[in-house]
Structure 1
Amino acid sequence: MFDTIERIEGGLVHHGNGNKRVYLQEANHGNWNLLISSIRNLAQQQKYDKIVSRVPEGGIASFQSEGYQVEAKIPGLYNGVTTGYFVADFLNKERSNCAEQKLKMIQSVKTIALAAANSSRDSYMAMPHTLEIHKLGGEELNKLTALAQLNERAFRSYPFPIHDRSFLIELLQQGYEFYGLFEEGQLIVASILRPNEAESNMEVVDFITNSNYRGQNLSYYLVQEIKKKSAERGLKTIYTSVRATSYGLNITFSKHGFSYGGTLLNNTLIGDTMESMNVWYLSLN
């Protein structure tokens, strides 16, 4: 069962029974109260547990007055100037609870990741000559079959049919981008990106790694390439959310100079587990 994507009162909304959540992904207009009321009605009708909204600074007071709490903050998310917030409303209060052991794990990952921090200037590491990075699409459209197969093996559940090559082509048409790390022609790590030229930012949506190559920190080289390409096109900010109990990716982003923005509690279904997600961001100004 996949997420629905629709426009509600000018906002771009993802929602579905997998995550049991409404995600307001884009919104930037004056009538915040109407938008807040509409997405809450949707969440109640569908019996979702959580609403999470990504909003600019101008809307934060309206959301907080309706009981939303700030879970993460990204300075300069919008055009390198305006702060962005991830705010949450838990319609089911049990969704806001997190076991003490899980909270300790989240704190441990965060502490170790922050201890590994480098500046973005000091994060370069030469890629082994056996590896190559390709942007998938255009002349590399034939490689989308390999990406679809990698996605199918990697994810037991996902809010969108990313194991379907035709859906990946739809995402390309919507402006999404894919990068792949190859070894001797085999796709071993891939990334899904969502650039937003109007906001001058890039969201790193996901990483997918061949199970035979996990634990080798190979996503490091893709992050390196994403930073380079984002800077070349004049984008101001890169941001992502990664599983809060995963040492690998949290450390990788910290080593690349990303800053910790906050934790989205019990936010995303990964496999069979509702996971909290750490938000990381990098200013390219």
Structure 2
Amino acid sequence: MRVQSEQKRFQTPSYVADVFLDYFNQRVRVENYRGNIKQIMIVLDQLVDDHQFTKIIFHAKPEQWTQLLSFGFELEAVFKGYSNGSDQYAMAKYKTNDRRTSEHWVKEDDILLDVYQKGRDVKAKELPEEYTFRRAIEKDSTKLAELYNKVFDIYPTPMNEAHYVQKVIQTGSIFYIVECKGEIVSAASADVNRTYHNAELTDCATVPEHRKYGLMKKILQKLEEELKKEQIFCAFSIARSLSFGMNAVFYQLGFDYTGRLRKNCYIYDKLEDMNVWVKDLSDFNN
């Protein structure tokens, strides 16, 4: 089976760059770098030619993001506090008109407005007694994979494979689950970066017939508490722009919308736009 993604380090006397090659989503991403940006661009262009990538993502430092404009990049989102409290700017460049063009952009704007109009103060729903919450362990990997296989036809990472889920847990991601009558019906994770002290809240999934109780909102609150214990204060998430429910959840939890990543990854049945939501967990008024 072909590798879906891999990370490589490129370095010369003039630069160092850690580059994430995402074959499944046809994109390349730079997250950590220093040195000569112009030389890094040459490497990226070569990778695009070699692998037919259609999107380049460059996570730039605050003092350098405008430099990328001269290379044809545009600003898509700001990850506030991403790197030990310093912001990170998500710059993007597209290699095809199809990848750059979003057919649902205006609809996604309308969904965002609906989210704002609903407001942050939404009364929590009472849960039936059969729902129980807990932190997941490695033994839950098979049932978690079954959940993701049931909820998503296509997902950016192979979360429908038990061995992959187990590896994700082993490498430090925190999963919280909801069980009903012995079955996992909802789950989400915090992918913790202990170098830059941030965490992505991701892998949010709830079986359709259990979505009326607001389980995901409660799971994310529990993940926030776990992150605070580890003094991880930058929490962010990338939610489907077409999903009113998930965007409403993050807004209600005090996250701020900071941009949209155009045709960022395959989910459900197509390449989808993703909204970026960020929260400072050290701000107890948030």
Normalised by the length of structure 2, the TM-score is 0.87
Query: Cα offset for 1:22?
Result: 1.8
Contact 2:125–2:213 (CA under 8 A) maintained in structure 1 = no
Change beyond 3 A, Cα 1:157–1:283: same
List alignment gaps of at least 5 residues for structure 2. 11-16
Deviation digits for residues 30-54 of structure 1 (CA, Å, limit 9, x no counterpart): 3433333322321222112111233
Query: Cα offset for 1:216?
Result: 4.2
| Corresponding residue SS for 1:214 | helix
Q: How does 1:84-95 map to 2 (within 5 A)?
A: 84-95=88-99
Q: Distance in 1 between matches of 2:78 and 2:191?
A: 19
Deviation digits for residues 172-195 of structure 1 (CA, Å, limit 9, x no counterpart): 232222221122322111113210
Aligned residues: 274
Contact 2:178–2:186 (CA under 8 A) maintained in structure 1 = yes
Q: Identity over the aligned pairs, expressed in percent?
A: 22
Partner of 1:275: 272
Farther off after superposition, 41-50 or 248-257: 41-50
Q: 2:26 aligns with which of 11, 17, 20?
A: 20
Contact 1:33–1:62 (CA under 8 A) maintained in structure 2 = no
Contact 2:124–2:214 (CA under 8 A) maintained in structure 1 = no
Change beyond 3 A, Cα 1:71–1:227: same
Deviation digits for residues 114-157 of structure 1 (CA, Å, limit 9, x no counterpart): 23443xxx7894863432222212xxx22211101112222222
Partner of 2:100: 96
Q: Distance in 1 between matches of 2:189 and 2:19?
A: 19
Change beyond 3 A, Cα 1:88–1:195: same
The answer on 1:78 being equivalent to 2:83 is yes
Contact 1:2–1:158 (CA under 8 A) maintained in structure 2 = no
Contact 1:11–1:27 (CA under 8 A) maintained in structure 2 = yes
Q: Which has the higher contact order (CA 8 A, sep 6+)?
A: 1
Q: Distance in 1 between matches of 2:185 and 2:29?
A: 30
Change beyond 3 A, Cα 1:91–1:123: same
Equivalent position amino acid for 2:233 in 1: K
Q: 2:48 aligns with which of 43, 49, 66?
A: 43
Equivalent position amino acid for 2:136 in 1: L
Partner of 1:163: 160
RMSD between aligned residues = 2.2
Equivalent position amino acid for 2:207 in 1: N
Deviation digits for residues 189-225 of structure 1 (CA, Å, limit 9, x no counterpart): 1113210122111111221222322354321111111
Deviation digits for residues 227-257 of structure 1 (CA, Å, limit 9, x no counterpart): 2111222112100111101100000000000
Query: Cα offset for 1:96?
Result: 1.2
Farther off after superposition, 189-198 or 5-14: 5-14
Query: Cα offset for 1:170?
Result: 1.7
Q: Distance in 1 between matches of 2:173 and 2:9?
A: 21
Partner of 2:4: 3
Query: Cα offset for 1:83?
Result: 1.1
Query: Cα offset for 1:72?
Result: 0.4
Q: Distance in 1 between matches of 2:280 and 2:3?
A: 33
Change beyond 3 A, Cα 1:124–1:62: farther
Q: 1:248 aligns with which of 242, 245, 250?
A: 245
List alignment gaps of at least 5 residues for structure 1. none
Equivalent position amino acid for 1:110 in 2: L
Q: How does 1:1-285 map to 2 (within 5 A)?
A: 3-9=4-10, 10-16=17-23, 18-24=24-30, 26-80=31-85, 82-99=86-103, 102-118=104-120, 125=124, 128=127, 129-137=129-137, 141-285=138-282
Equivalent position amino acid for 1:131 in 2: Y
Q: Distance in 2 between matches of 1:134 and 1:58?
A: 42
Q: Distance in 2 between matches of 1:208 and 1:37?
A: 39
Normalised by the length of structure 1, the TM-score is 0.87
Contact 1:215–1:248 (CA under 8 A) maintained in structure 2 = no
